[in-house]
Each structure stands twice: as C-alpha cells, then as structure tokens.
Amino acid sequence: MQFPKLVKPLKFYAVVPTADWVGRMVKAGADTVQLRNKELSGDALYREIERCVAACRGSDTQLFINDHWEMAVKAGAYGVHLGQEDMDTADLAAIEAAGLRLGLSTHSVSELDRALSVNPSYAASGAIFPTTTKQMPTAPQGLDNLRQYVQQAGDTPVVAIGGIDLDNAREVLATGAASLAVVRAVTEAADPEAAVKAFQALWDE
C-alpha cells in the first residue's frame, strides 16, 4: 500500500468543526485544514463535506476530512484523516484507489509503527501537551517523544498536535516535526485570521 505524497508541505494545519470555519481558513491562507465534525451525520454531514471541498477548490489549502472516509471519497476531498481504531474498519484500499492522501493518528512508538506499515501520506503524533479538545487515551507525549517519533517516521511527515499554541510552537518545530496542527489556538483566538499568519510566519524564521 502506498498513499499519494503531499503536493506541498502541510505546515500550518487548522483543525476546525464546520464548513464555515474551513472557508475562513482558506481565506486566511492556511496551508492545510481538517474538518472534524462530531455533530452532523448522514446527508447533512455529506453536504458539509461538499461545502468544504468547494471552499478549498482552486485554493492552495489542502483539505482533510476526519473519520468519514466514504463521504470524503465521494465528495472528492484531498485527503482523509483516521484514528488508530479506524484502521481496523476503514477500507484503506478504497481510499488508496481513489487517490486520496491519508493521515493517521498515533500516540506511541507501536502505533506509529503500525501507521507507517501502510505508507500513509503523513502521521500525526500527540497529544504533545495537555489538551481539552478531546479525551486522550494516553498521557501527553512531550517534546522528547515527539523528537523520537520524527526520527522513527523517516521520510513520512510528522504532524504534531495537542495543546500547541504560539508560546510553545517554536519548541515543537525544533523537534523536526513537519507540521503544527491546532484547534483552540485558532477557533478560540480573538482574531483567527491573524493567528494563522502568526503561525505561518514561524516557517520563515
């Protein structure tokens, strides 16, 4: 199995809950955006995914859909992001055949090994710091573990996620992580668009 490589680096990666937020991130010029919607289902969710695909069409923003791989394939999204448990149930061959990029969540050396075995487009590692956006199955990984994961992943880009903000972002990038994924640092920012620019400036330092 070999999922497509990324067209361009993931860099700043905004994880947001609605198509409206995806649209805002595209307008702000975010490198990558993920729709992580836990409220909708069925046709309403599919319409939301279609809106996200439309918002990103013609832009430089790379769109990943969290969990709902069948709808992502049908809507023509750029990629899918799956958790470890989804690897047991998702049809990875169908995702690969449709040409979508695949990102996989990992929380340990063994989970990263498992993810790397299917040659994903990227691996996400976290939570790096304590986070309140979701219940984590493991303790915060910390920067030392992240540094090890980056080495372990080799040529596969590593996305760091979990409790990342502008105060600790430089430390995280110093581990060699290819991308910073954030949730609250954008959705709870006083000026989300300015937050995007501030994060992106870190790659130019």
Active site residues: 36, 105, 134
Q: Where are the beta strands (DSSP E) in 5-130?
A: 11-16, 32-35, 62-66, 79-82, 101-106, 122-126
Q: Establish whether 57 is an annotated binding residue.
A: no
132 is in an annotated binding site: yes
Please indicate if the annotation marks 35 as binding a ligand: yes
Asked whether residue 131 is marked as a ligand-binding residue, the answer is yes
Q: Is 163 annotated as a binding residue?
A: yes
How far apart, in whole angstroms, are the C-alpha atoms of residue 186 and residue 172? 17
H/E element holding 201? none
Closest CA to 91 of 76, 69, 120, 71: 69
**Is 133 annotated among the ligand-binding residues?**
yes
Handedness of CA 122, 57, 39, 32 (dihedral sign): positive
- Compute the distance between CA of residue 22 and CA of residue 140 in angstroms, rounded to an integer: 27
- Report the Cα 146 to chain-centroid distance in Å: 16
Q: Is 134 annotated as a binding residue?
A: yes
By CB neighbour count within 10 A (0-12 exposed, 13-18 middle, 19+ buried), where does 191 fall? exposed
Task: Look at residues 150, 155, 89, 85 and name the one whose alpha carbon lies nearest to residue 119.
Answer: 155
Consult the annotation and say whether 119 binds a ligand.
no
156 is in an annotated binding site: no
Q: Is 34 marked as binding a ligand?
A: yes
Would you list which residues are annotated within the binding site?
34-38, 66-67, 86, 105, 131-134, 163
Would you list which residues are annotated within the binding site for Mg(2+)?
67, 86
